Chains A and B, each alone.
Chain A
Amino acid sequence: MKLKFFSALFAVALWLIAAPLPAQDLGPQIKKFKDGIYVYVGKNLNSNCGIVVTQEGVVLIDSGHNPTDSRAIADAVKKITPLPIRFLIDTEPHPDHTTGHFVFSPPATIIAAKGAGESMLARDKADPDRNRKLAESSPEMRAAFEGYRMVLPHVEYRDRMTLNVGERTFELYYMKNVHSEADSAVWLPKERVLFSASAVVVEQFNVFRPNVNIPDILAAAKMMKALNPESVIPGHGIPGTTKIFDDSERYYALLLERVGKLAREGKSLDEIQKTVKMPEYDGWATKERYPGNIEAAYRAVQGK
Chain B
Amino acid sequence: MKTKFSLAVYLAALGLWLAAPASAQDLGPHFKQVKDGIYVYAAVLNEANSTIIRTSDGVVLIDAGQSPKDSYVVAAAVKKLGSDPVRFVIHTEPHPDHVMGDFVFSPPAVVVAASGASASMKQSESFSPARIERETAKSPEMRDAFKGFRLVPPHVEYRNRMTLTVGERTFELYYLKNVHSEADTAIWLPKERVLFTAASVGVKRFGNHRPFVSIPDTLDAIRMMQALKPEVVIPGHGVPGTAKILDDMENYYDALMKGVTAMVKQGKSLDEIKKELKVPGTEDWEGKDRFPNNIEAAYRAVKGN
- Measuring CB to CB, which residues of chain A are less than 8 angstroms from any residue of chain B? 56, 86-87, 106-107, 109, 111, 114, 117, 152-165
Contacts and interface: CB of A to CB of B under 8 A. Distances in A.
Contacts of B118: 162, 164
A243 to B, nearest CB: 31
A164 B157 contact: yes
Interface stretch (B42-50, B105-113, B255-263): B105-113
Nearest to A113: B162
Contacts of B108: 107
27 contacts: A56-B107, A87-B155, A106-B57, A109-B88, A114-B161, A114-B163, A152-B165, A154-B165, A155-B112, A155-B156, A155-B162, A155-B164, A156-B165, A157-B159, A157-B161, A158-B159, A158-B160, A158-B161, A159-B159, A159-B160, A159-B161, A160-B115, A160-B160, A161-B115, A161-B157, A163-B156, A164-B118
Contacts of B163: 114, 155-156
B153 interface: yes
Given A159-B159, A162-B157, A163-B156, 7 more contacts: A109-B88, A154-B166, A156-B163, A158-B162, A160-B160, A164-B154, A165-B155
Interface string B92-133: 000000000000000110101001001000000000000000
Contacts of B161: 114, 157-159
Contacts of A154: 88, 164-166
Contacts of A56: 107
Which of A109, A111, A153 has most B Cβ within 10 Å?
A: A109
A157 B165 contact: no
B185 to A, nearest CB: 13
Contacts of B155: 87, 163-165
Interface residues of B, number: 23
B158 interface: yes
A162 to B, nearest CB: 4
A165 B153 CA distance: 9
A157 B158 CA distance: 6
A163 B110 CA distance: 10
Nearest to A115: B163
Given A154-B164, A155-B163, A157-B158, A162 B115 contact: yes
B123 to A, nearest CB: 15
A93 to B, nearest CB: 13
Contacts of B166: 154
Given A56-B107, A107-B108, A164 B162 contact: no
Contacts of A156: 162-165
Contacts of B157: 161-164
A109 B110 contact: yes
A111 B156 contact: yes
A162 B115 CA distance: 8
B38 to A, nearest CB: 19
Nearest to A160: B159
Top-8 shortest CB links A-B: A162-B157, A156-B163, A161-B158, A157-B162, A160-B159, A158-B161, A157-B158, A109-B110
A157 B108 CA distance: 21
Contacts of B159: 157-161
A114 to B, nearest CB: 7
A164 B153 CA distance: 8
B111 to A, nearest CB: 9
A285 B284 CA distance: 74
Contacts of A87: 110, 155
Interface string B142-154: 0000000000011
A154 B118 CA distance: 21
Interface string B245-267: 00000000000000000000000
A100 B159 CA distance: 28
